[in-house]
Chains A and B, each alone.
Chain A
Amino acid sequence: MAVQSPAILADEPVAARVAPAQRGLWLISELYPGSSLYNVFCSVRLLGQLDLPALGEALNAVVARHESLRTTFGAHAGGPVAHIAERLEIPLDVTDLANAAPERADELRDFIQSWSEQPFDLAKGPLIRAHVVRLGPAEHVLCLSLHHIICDGQSMSTLFDEVSAFYTAKAGARPDSDVSTPPLAAQYRDYVAWQRENAPGDDEISWWRSYLAGVPYVLTVPADRPRPAVRGSSGATRLFTLPDQLMAEVAELAGRLRVSPFMVLLGGYATLLGRLADVTDLLIGVPFTHRPLPEFETLIGLFVKNLPVRIDISPDQTFEQLLRAVRGSVLGVLAHQEVSFDQLVDEIKPDRGPGHTPLVQVAFSADMTPFAVPRLAGIQAQVVLPEPTAAKFDLDMSIYADPGEDGLVAALTYSTELFDDESIARLADRFVRLLRAAVARPEQPLGALPLTGEAELAEIVGSLAHGGPAQAAQALVHEVFARQAAVTPTAPAVSADGSEVSYAELDERSDQIGHQLRLLGVGPDQLVGVLIERSVDLVATLLGILKAGAAYLPLSSTHPSAYLAGLLSAAGVRYTIASPQLAHRLASADAAVFTPDELTGRPEQDLPPAPRVSPENLAYVLYTSGSTGVPKGVAITHRSLSNVTATMRQMYELTAADRVLQFANIGFDIAVEEMFPTWAAGGCVVLSPEPPPDPAGMTSLMSSERVTFTILTSSYWQYWVTHARSAGVHPAPTLRLISIGSEPVDAQTLRYWLQATGIPVFNAYGLTETTVNTTLEFFAGPFAESRVPIGRPIRGVEVYVLDDDLNPVPIGVTGQVYAAGDCLARGYLDRPDLTADRFVPHPFSEVPGARMLRTGDLARWRPDRTLEAIGRLDTQLKLRGYRIEPGHVEAAICAHPDVSTAVVTVRRGSDGQDRLIGYVVPASGTAVPADLRSHLAGRLPAYLVPSALVAIPAVPRNANGKTDLHALPEPTYDRVEHVPASTELERQLADVWQRVLGRPAVGIHDNFFDLGGTSLLLTTLLRQLNDVLGQRLPLVTLYEFPTIASLAGHLSEDDRHGGVASTGQDRTSKLQAGRALMAQRRRSRS
């Protein structure tokens, strides 16, 4: 980096007022100190003999003309004040890269990059900088960088025009050049004065209130990563061209409908984003140029303000109707643009949080007029527009005339915290495709406009959807077992209570049960009930039932006798096998009850012929509680059981050396996955004792039984791992592999597991109706993501992510999961209506008459082509425009070591406001863990942190085991409780709070913004805090810790770590320390 010569400042500057838009930018610079976010940068390649002194003089002549270019911004009474220097001379230094060939292009790019990103100090200035890179005797690059607070797009054209005129005059080519630069009739402070005289009145504010009423204040476009808890500004830009033909059609449609091409482009952009985000009403930030008087036209200064444009994109309206509505909306904003963005935010009070920009998260601009090019005498100039590497918004599309070519260029600047380049490339394709379809047939409804291209569509219903050919059901699972018994008769098939049962023994025992059942007339498609504790008897009985050609129906000893009797009679079960200890539970049932012992012994009579079992016959029926509360029996056939058995054996690479824990309740199909693939590989199934061991017991069980592979639900796994971690022990030294799933997996626990144990992990997703597993993802080695994907469909399985109209949703977009293929259950036992409703015609299959299951689960294809589970269709919550998946919040709460389980729901308070409530069952005691809120603040964006955390002794369940939300107690809100300051630090903070807010008593849990705090008050608060505390806190800290309690906690933590520098030190180092601390916090969170 070349050394920049100091600017020459003379005289005392004149203090002046600032424009509201300038105040907004000043606030942002306080929020992101040292950021280059609002640098306006431009470079011009100059070919020809350059008169360098003349160029420097020309630049300074422009600086002398415009007060804006000589303005800096200091602080006064908590707000910004402008200082206008009488005279300012900016240096024009030269960096010589003429000898840098052949790497010149790289060096030039690197130089320009770092030069353009040098932050401005608003208080110190100057806020305009120029530099020349010499590439050769007749080739230079002029770099110009200005802070946005003193310029806008039109200013840059003015700057170029005036520099051209002065240069030409100085270089002596055109002595009459003064003609082109007449004296200015006004200065920027005249505009500031005009704005004050025409300040928005109450009418204006009330127009904006009604304009914005009811619109969601956060637009979440599907991204590669979730929002970080604190938003940064790192970004990148992707350029793409808008074909001339398309732009001609846009212009033609615009003309016909009497709207502007800008409105057509904005309408297309809004439709795209709304459909991707699945909302029908959204806000887009649009820059509006506001030069209300002719004398302001030639001024350099900030005359642009970003204002939210509301667009209703209900899918039923046509694109034509949309464009008329966009015109109305844009014209409405134009007529009410006296207000500044900052004022709006303070008046409207949208959700504030450090994770997103307030009010608008996406922006759009379009300027079709060609960019001004400096015309320097004897020089051929070519403007190179920058590709911003800082993101002011999540997404910012800017369309402008390509300075090099004839056509239009679109630049998509995006937050790299959220998006990867590939997703933005896809977004760009979608924009062009949607726009093309919309202008070609503007009479079609928005919902019919295509989002996906042919290739993407082919992929998502083709290679992505299909997990590969099914495993042919050459042998049924019990036949596979018998074959294995013939090959390795003495190998252990089951280990229970420390003793082992060989394959031959288990084969013989199950044969006997099968034979006895056949003598009773049991055969294919008949159900036999099973009520036995986990034991060798149980597994022998299951195998015996299958060997009789029948299907087993597990019963739970936790169900009341009457319920069991009803179930057996509804399922038409004639025989049930129960252990002697449990048989009495079936006294009232119609079915005949046998104990396993009663079914032993070689039968003396001749056996009926061996059953002929088709792969389409039933293997088992599992009852699950439906959403309606009525339990339904999922009827699984041998075809899908064989497929999943062979597939899981393959995926888990099971061998005869494996010892696999049988931990799942037999009523869950995970038990199937624990047993049959293990036996197919000749391995040993290790029966977990009843009742299930505690975490420490689990670790010792696995060690003593030398368990090599296990399948656990994510929540139990997390509980177990967290426990082992705090006990400082390895959870399972003998494991070579683990499979988890059934519930969302906590990313941090997964990261810890992989790092601490090195044991690879499968994450499995499936439903009972799709036979154990549907999709699978594999993790080995370091894991850095914040969400844990569920992978790709397994063999024999198809997975589709579809919208409400059964259209495949684009990659990245959430839709309902539909599953098809050989995994499908036959249906719900004796429930043709339920079956017909859930197993529906498959529109994408080449197999005539194929069905697919509506799973009710939500998921999306990630750009890396793995699936990410989002939650359940029927539990998704909506809160102030946010879509909230309670499972994600519950998982974050449960990741706290002192929480055993949690339920998250939305409750309406007595003030009519909906709030997110977290009900917490503590692992011990009756109180919510004291640090739970800060634990959540570190894991979740602010809007996902529940307003109240309520301790409950247990999760109330209804008769079917589902959470009974109505039985949850009314919450008491933390913030409603007035808790006065108790420590010295809290009292100091409360004192400042009360002074700044002008309120008598502020409780330590009161949120600054809820008490009427505005962003301007926040900077006042910051300054006063810094005075009182003798520290320099970054403003973002106050967004992160908006209550006295949380800030006091944060400050005392910093004290312990010695993280915040004290007053004496140099300001820059303190800022850097603060930023490093923030970066650290962010890292430790992600």
Chain B
Amino acid sequence: MFDDDSRDYHVVRNDEDQYSLWPADSEPPLGWSIAGPAGSKAECLAHIARVWTDMRPKSLREFMDSI
């Protein structure tokens, strides 16, 4: 599913601000929402490389900011 370069994907993100891909023709699993353009795998990954600048999970980021 994730090795198919011919299909379209969505950029998806979870509540921890972690990014991934999901095939554009189906609903992402529980806790994931569409967070970017649909396109080829390469396009989606390029988008993710641009926007996912802090790879710490959101809860850790908040914990570390709080101390």
Contact = CB atoms under 8 A, between A and B. Distances in A.
Report if A and B associate in a common complex: yes
B60 to A, nearest CB: 4
Interface in B21-44: 21-22, 28-32, 41, 44
Nearest to A827: B55
Contacts of A839: 18, 20
A841 B29 CA distance: 6
Q: How large is the interface on A (under 10, 10 to 19, 20 to 34, 35 or more residues)?
A: 20 to 34
Contacts of A845: 29-30
A612 B65 CA distance: 12
Given A806-B1, A830-B55, A842 B64 contact: no
Contact of B52 (A525, A612, A805, A832): A832
A946 B47 CA distance: 45
Given A836-B48, A839-B20, 13 more contacts: A614-B60, A614-B64, A616-B57, A804-B4, A827-B18, A832-B48, A833-B45, A835-B55, A837-B41, A849-B14, A849-B30, A851-B14, A851-B18
A524 interface: yes
A851 B57 CA distance: 12
Given A841-B28, A849-B15, A832 B55 contact: yes
Contacts of A851: 14, 18, 20
Contact of B29 (A614, A837, A843): A843
Interface residues of B, number: 35
A827 B52 CA distance: 12
Interface in A886-907: none
B21 A837 contact: yes
A826 B14 CA distance: 14
Contact of B32 (A635, A835, A841): A841
Nearest to A843: B29
Interface string A598-631: 0000000000000010101100000000000000
A418 B14 CA distance: 45
A612 B52 CA distance: 25
A841 B14 contact: yes
13 contacts: A635-B55, A832-B48, A832-B53, A833-B49, A835-B18, A836-B20, A836-B45, A837-B20, A837-B21, A840-B21, A841-B32, A842-B29, A843-B29
Interface in B45-67: 45-46, 48-49, 52-53, 55-57, 59-60, 63-64, 67
A1079 B44 CA distance: 59
A847 interface: yes
A854 interface: yes
Contacts of B12: 841
A635 B60 CA distance: 14
A924 B18 CA distance: 51
A836 B19 contact: yes
A672 B3 CA distance: 32
B55 A612 contact: no
Interface in A217-272: none
A236 to B, nearest CB: 38
A848 interface: yes
A851 B63 CA distance: 21
Listed residue (B14, B46, B55) with the most chain A CB atoms within 10 angstroms of its CB: B55
A826 B57 contact: yes
A806 B56 CA distance: 27
Closest 8 CB pairs of A and B: A848-B31, A849-B14, A849-B31, A832-B52, A616-B60, A833-B45, A833-B49, A843-B29
B45 to A, nearest CB: 4
A614 B63 contact: yes
A835 B19 CA distance: 8
Contacts of B48: 832-833, 836
Contacts of B11: 836
Given A616-B59, A835-B55, A805 B31 contact: no
A525 B64 contact: yes
B29 A854 contact: no
A849 B18 contact: yes
Interface string A23-43: 000000000000000000000
A602 to B, nearest CB: 25
Contacts of A836: 11, 19-21, 44-45, 48, 52
A850 B1 CA distance: 18
A524 B22 CA distance: 32
A787 to B, nearest CB: 27
A816 to B, nearest CB: 9
A843 B26 CA distance: 12
B18 to A, nearest CB: 7
Nearest to A846: B30
B64 A524 contact: yes
A42 B4 CA distance: 54
A177 B25 CA distance: 73
Nearest to A805: B1
A635 to B, nearest CB: 8
Contact of A840 (B4, B20, B56, B59): B20
A854 B15 CA distance: 21
A635 B11 CA distance: 22
A832 B49 contact: yes
A837 B2 contact: yes
Interface string A376-396: 000000000000000000000
A835 B2 CA distance: 13
Nearest to B14: A849
Question: Which of B12, B20, B57, B59 has the most chain A CB atoms inside 10 A of its CB?
Answer: B20
Contacts of B16: 849
Contacts of B55: 635, 826-827, 829-830, 832, 835
Contacts of B32: 841, 849
A837 B12 CA distance: 11
Nearest to A847: B31
Q: In the complex, which of the residues A806, A827, A829, A836 has the most CB atoms of chain B within 10 Å of its own CB atom?
A: A836
A489 B49 CA distance: 48
A611 to B, nearest CB: 9
B1 A841 contact: no
Contacts of B1: 804-806
Interface string A846-866: 111111001000000000000
A459 B12 CA distance: 29
Contacts of B46: 833
Contacts of A840: 2, 20-22
A872 to B, nearest CB: 13
Contacts of A842: 29
B63 to A, nearest CB: 5
Contacts of A827: 18, 55
Interface string A488-530: 0000000000000000000000000000000000001100000
Contacts of A850: 14, 29, 31
Interface string A628-644: 00000001000000000
B33 to A, nearest CB: 9
A370 to B, nearest CB: 48
B60 A617 contact: yes
Contacts of A832: 19, 48-49, 52-53, 55
A1026 to B, nearest CB: 55
Contacts of B45: 833, 836-837
Contacts of A835: 18-19, 52, 55
B34 to A, nearest CB: 11
Contacts of B19: 832, 835-836
Residue among B52, B59, B60 having the largest count of chain A Cβ atoms under 10 Å? B60
A735 B12 CA distance: 50
A29 B49 CA distance: 67
Nearest to B30: A848
A837 B49 CA distance: 11
Interface in A815-837: 826-827, 829-830, 832-833, 835-837
Given A616-B59, A833-B45, A836-B48, A841 B22 contact: yes
A879 to B, nearest CB: 22
B31 to A, nearest CB: 3
Nearest to B18: A851
A617 B64 CA distance: 9
